[in-house]
Amino acid sequence: MSTQSPNTSKAKVSRSPGKNRAAKSAKGNLNGAIPAELFDKKAFKETVIKHLHGSLGTDENKADNHAWFKATSAAIQELVLDRLRSTQKSHYLNDTRAVHYFSAEFLMGRLLSNNMHNFGLFEVADAALKELGVDLSDVLEEEPDMALGNGGLGRLAACFIDSLATMDYPAIGYGIHYENGLFRQEIKNGAQIERPDSWRDYGNPWEICRPESIQEVPLFGYVETKYGKNGNIQKEWHPGEIVKGVPWDIPVVGFGGSTVNVLRLWQSQSSGHFNWDVFNAGGYVDAQRENVQAETISKVLYPNDETEAGKELRLIQQYFFSACSLKDIIRRYKRAHGDNWDRFSEQVVVQLNDTHPAIAIPELMRILVDRAELDWDTAWNISKNTFAYTNHTLLPEALEKWPVRMIEKILPRHIEIIYEINHRFMQEVERKWPGNNEIKAKLSIIEEAGEKMVRMGNLSVIGSFAVNGVAEIHSKLVKENLFPEFDQLYPGKLTNVTNGVTPRRWLKACNPLLSDLISKKIGDEWPLQLDKLDDLSQYADNKTFQNQFMRVKLKNKEILAKEIKALTGIEVSTKAIFDIQIKRLHEYKRQHLNLLHIMALYRRLLENSEYDMHPRVFIFGAKAAPGYALAKTIIYAINKIADKINNDNRVNHKIKVVFLPNYRVSLAEKMIPAADVSQQISTAGKEASGTGNMKLALNGAVTIGTLDGANIEIAEEVGDDNIFIFGKTVDEVAAINAAGYNPYDYYYQNKELKALLDWLDSDYFTPGQPGALSSLKNSMLSGGDPYLVLADFDSYSESNKALDEAYKDKSRWAKMAILNTAKMGKFTSDRSINDYVDRIWKLEKCKV
């Protein structure tokens, strides 16, 4: 079944991008090869109609919004492909060093609006379609999100390839062409239901299939040991199965439209090979039994953003896209350098987005040693100088480990190579710490306790020339807690690159009203030089500017209020504080701390109808991993508590609770511009960075948050007066845990907290279903409250009071909001990419 029916435009909320916009915005460096006639409205109209007729076989009278979407995209794609060709030609002629960003996830969202903005054609397209009687905002709504990722890690990859193209760096993104992206979330009676996401049901206007670059990937089988002419040992892998990798290219348009890089996603396909080799070796039955249906490899994105223990298909996915990508890179390298491997690591850097593609390390070793017949040390030098690894988590359960037995079966040659890498590494450890078996056990790639496992984190650190965390505090913890011995062994290898977000999507395109206000005030250079936003600081106290800024916020709140009404039927007042928590649902992100506080406010209002608080709308967006029971209970609790509070006249509309279903990139783009408050309340030390925090602050939301991840750096930028920080610090969390944390202490000491938790045990919020929310209570008491919700509750409650107080002072709040936008310059992904380039990738720009 289709999930995205082209004709039923859902929430008909006019976001008329054309209205209220300054006539011209930054066009970047558009020039040269783009057909000039596409720049004017008339020609654009003609091109759209040409596609309506010639590609879609319809006409202006019959076309529905989906057809207009297709035709408009096709018109833009003409420019995209033109620039793609010139970019590839330049990169080829210059034989440039390039970064290859290996990521199992790219959360691209929608591309039409983005591509139009990046070509400086948004206003032209808007006006052209208007003359055709078509509303661009309706057309944009027809595009399904490319939801090929779970959350932060996948969206970071998308922001990074945007910045790379924008700054003219040669780069390719490599990933998986999932047939089904992250599930579509429906809410039925308060509970999450997962439905398949089929983003390509009606065709994707951007992707280009490249059958000429198909790769073959071996799997299973056995390894034969042979002796070469000079008596050296040679290994030959006889795979039990071969699958095909079909590349689909998604053009990545830089802002200004000059460089168009590529995101290459691999789709698996049956190769039709029957492996007689395995058959003859007596492996017939095994090979058949272990046959994975080739097509299933790229069928679906794993919906967990923490580890999916021991799923064979997941490991095959990882190897599949890593192997295809390496072969693709090597093919391109050989075109310029033949069989001479000397310059490989000068030309190629591979960035591993977490350990998901870490199997690429032994795969490159296999190619160099078994196929190219280089000696081990030469091969290892090339390999080590090629890979760099980004760590995105410290949570022990999220550090990938694969059973040795499983790798042995699927990748019999790779397990040998991993053992050889480890053997040589253990000798290195012995030289550094002679006789210290404890350190050896800790640093070994192989975990020996219990079932033997391959630790992908250790493999990645050992096999890379650089390792980075994603925010200052996180990188410090990577060095001091996760990999301290590696830091001693390889001084300087572990470093930090603080995450960032692309201001093109996350301010310019998603918030046209604020963008125009900013450009009028300080000029339109900020999308490429986000530090320029600091020029707004001088107006933070200016009453006129405060009013303008807050009027924009109000307009954005009106737009979101309509969307909320359309999606949920809930009416919210735009006079209320719009308080937003959007992120994956996880205990460590503590949506339940937010919820407990909402219950506390509700209870205070029931006890005292005069309880002093500014009206507040608490808005959530979150998907829970389908197998994560407690996360699903939290979603259920939010919805049930919302039902109760929203329909209780006694609270006098002071609190509304809204859960917006199916949180995704395109919904984030509608929510973020309307936020007054950004909830960033993870247990200190658990959120590696966060990037939603940056997007919300950039759009003038004030953060209430813990000293965790990038919140710390946001606080440094905006200053203590413009952020609400609460809760235990990383050190305090460690101390509490060391001393033995007992949540019952807080439960019995704090009457309000006790009443709230006991409330969850009743059937007050779930009439007729007592106990439906008890598991939530239990997680915070008998379950030990591993994320210190109770320990931080008081501090959070106090911080919320301070926030409420601050909001009452309109001018003070406006100043805070302005300064949040003004001080976000650091968090452009352009800065992150420049940090990677300077510290790790060492790339040169290649102007097209």
SS (H, E, C) 400-462: CEEEHHHHHHHCHHHHHHHHHHHHHHHHHHHHHCCCCHHHHHHHCCEECCCCCEEEHHHHHHH
CA distance readout (Å), 565 to 108, 172, 560, 660, 711: 27, 41, 9, 10, 31
153 binds ligand 26Q (CB under 6 A): yes
State the minimum distance, in angstroms, from the CB of residue 678 to ligand 26Q.
14
Residue 688 sits in the site that holds ligand 26Q (CB under 6 A): yes
Cβ at position 820, least distance to ligand 26Q in Å: 18
Q: Which residue is nearest to ligand 26Q (CB)?
A: 152
Give the separation between CA 511 and CA 503, rounded to whole angstroms. 10
Residue 151 sits in the site that holds ligand 26Q (CB under 6 A): yes
Binding status of residue 156 toward ligand 26Q by CB under 6 A: yes
Nearer to ligand 26Q, 126 or 717 (CB): 717
- Which parts of 341-360 interact with ligand 26Q (CB under 6 A)? 356
Residue 316 within binding range of ligand 26Q, rule CB under 6 A: no
Q: What track of x and - describes contact with ligand 26Q for positions 30 through 69 (by CB under 6 A)? A: ----------------------------------------
Task: Select from 287, 111, 276, 119 the least CA-distant residue to 206.
Answer: 111
H helical segments located in 173-280: 276-278
Catalytic member of 66, 97, 583, 831: 583
Using CA atoms, how far apart are residues 76 and 726, in angstroms rounded to an integer? 47
Q: Which stretch binds ligand 26Q (CB under 6 A): 106-114, 198-206, 686-694, 828-836?
A: 686-694
Count of beta carbons in the 10 Å neighbourhood of residue 757? 23
* 565 annotated active-site: no
Q: Among the candidate windows 49-57, 59-67, 550-558, 684-692, which touches ligand 26Q by CB under 6 A?
A: 684-692
Which listed range, 50-58, 227-235, 252-260, 393-401, lies at the site for ligand 26Q (CB under 6 A)? Answer: 393-401
Q: What is the dihedral of CA 600, 604, 605, 606, to 10 degrees?
A: 100
| Identity of the residue, 156 or 599, whose beta carbon is nearer to ligand 26Q in the bound complex | 156
Specify the stretch interacting with ligand 26Q by CB under 6 A; choose among 158-166, 211-219, 631-639, 681-689.
Answer: 681-689
Stretch that binds ligand 26Q, among 10-18, 129-137, 305-313, 376-384 (CB under 6 A): 305-313
The contact mask relative to ligand 26Q for 690-709 (x = CB under 6 A, - = no) is xx-----------------x
Site mask, ligand 26Q, residues 727-756, x = CB under 6 A?
A: ------------------------------
Which segment (27-35, 149-157, 206-214, 657-665) binds ligand 26Q by CB under 6 A?
149-157
Residue 120 or 151 with smaller CB distance to ligand 26Q: 151
Q: Does 500 bind ligand 26Q (CB under 6 A)?
A: no
Q: Rule CB under 6 A: is residue 174 a binding residue for ligand 26Q?
A: no
Look up 584 and say whether it is catalytic.
Answer: yes
Q: How far apart are CA 627 and CA 25, in angstroms?
A: 46
By CB under 6 A, name the one of 73, 115, 689, 703 that touches ligand 26Q: 689
Contact with ligand 26Q (CB under 6 A) among 79, 219, 358, 470 = 470
307 binds ligand 26Q (CB under 6 A): yes
CA–chain centroid gap for 659, Å, is 21
Owner of token pair 């040169």 = 844
Is 695 one of the catalytic residues?
Answer: yes
Applying CB under 6 A, among 78, 308, 516, 531 the residue interacting with ligand 26Q is: 308
Structure tokens at 530: 């986000």
Give the tokens for residue 440: 């050896």
Quick check: 269 binds ligand 26Q (CB under 6 A)?
A: no
Q: Is residue 829 involved in binding ligand 26Q (CB under 6 A)? A: no
Choice between 173 and 205, CB closer to ligand 26Q: 173
d(CA 184, CA 192): 10
DSSP 218: E
The one catalytic residue in 100, 695, 728, 815 is 695
Nearest 5°: the CA angle 595, 598, 604 is 145
In whole angstroms, give the CA distance from residue 674 to residue 116. 23
- The answer to whether 468 contacts ligand 26Q (rule: CB under 6 A) is no
CA distances to 505, 513, 615, 628, 818 from 673, rounded to whole Å, are 12, 9, 19, 30, 13
Measured from the CB atom, is 104 or 382 closer to ligand 26Q? 104
By CB under 6 A, is residue 496 in contact with ligand 26Q? no
Residue 217 CB contacts under 8 Å (≥ 6 apart), including other chains: 242, 243, 244, 245, 319, 320, 323, 324
305 binds ligand 26Q (CB under 6 A): yes
Closest separation in Å from C-beta 405 to ligand 26Q = 17
Examine residue 392 and tell whether it contacts ligand 26Q (CB under 6 A): yes
Distance separating alpha carbons of residues 307 and 75, to the nearest angstrom: 41
Nearer to ligand 26Q, 117 or 392 (CB): 392
- Catalytic status, residue 386: no
Of the pair 142, 687, the CB lying nearest ligand 26Q is at 687
150 binds ligand 26Q (CB under 6 A): yes
117: annotated active-site residue: no
The residue (of 182 and 530) whose beta carbon lies closer to ligand 26Q is 182
DSSP label of 259: -
User: Is 583 designated active site?
Assistant: yes
Q: Which two tokens stand for residue 675?
A: 């936020």
How many Å apart are CA 99 and CA 90, to the nearest integer?
Answer: 16
User: Would you give the distance in Å from CA 490 to the centre of its chain?
Assistant: 29
**Closest-CA residue to 793 (of 508, 624, 597):** 597
Return the residue of 304, 385, 774, 775 that touches ligand 26Q, per CB under 6 A.
304
Q: Report which DSSP code applies to 370.
A: I
Q: Residue from 152, 221, 254, 527 that binds ligand 26Q (CB under 6 A)? A: 152
Q: Which of 589, 728, 777, 831 is catalytic?
A: 589
Q: Does 824 help bind ligand 26Q (rule: CB under 6 A)?
A: no
User: Catalytic one among 72, 307, 355, 691?
Assistant: 691
Which of 344-348's residues contact partners 24+ apart within 8 Å by CB, and which partners? 344/382, 344/386, 345/381, 345/382, 345/385, 345/386, 346/97, 347/95, 347/96, 347/97, 347/98, 348/97, 348/98, 348/100, 348/386
3-state secondary structure of 775: helix
DSSP-assigned states of every residue in 805-827: HHHHSHHHHHHHHHHHHHT-GGG
Listed residue (840, 644, 653) closest to 760, CA to CA: 644
Check: CB of residue 789 under 8 Å from CB of residue 590: yes
Sequence-separated (6 or more) residues with CB below 8 Å from residue 602: 641, 645, 648, 651, 655
**Segment near ligand 26Q (CB under 6 A); pick from 8-16, 218-226, 391-399, 547-555:** 391-399
Q: Is 389 in the site for ligand 26Q (CB under 6 A)?
A: no
Q: Which residues are catalytic?
A: 392, 583-584, 589, 691, 695
Which residues sit at the interface with ligand 26Q, rule CB under 6 A? 150-153, 156, 302, 304-308, 314, 356, 392-393, 398, 400, 470, 499, 687-691, 709
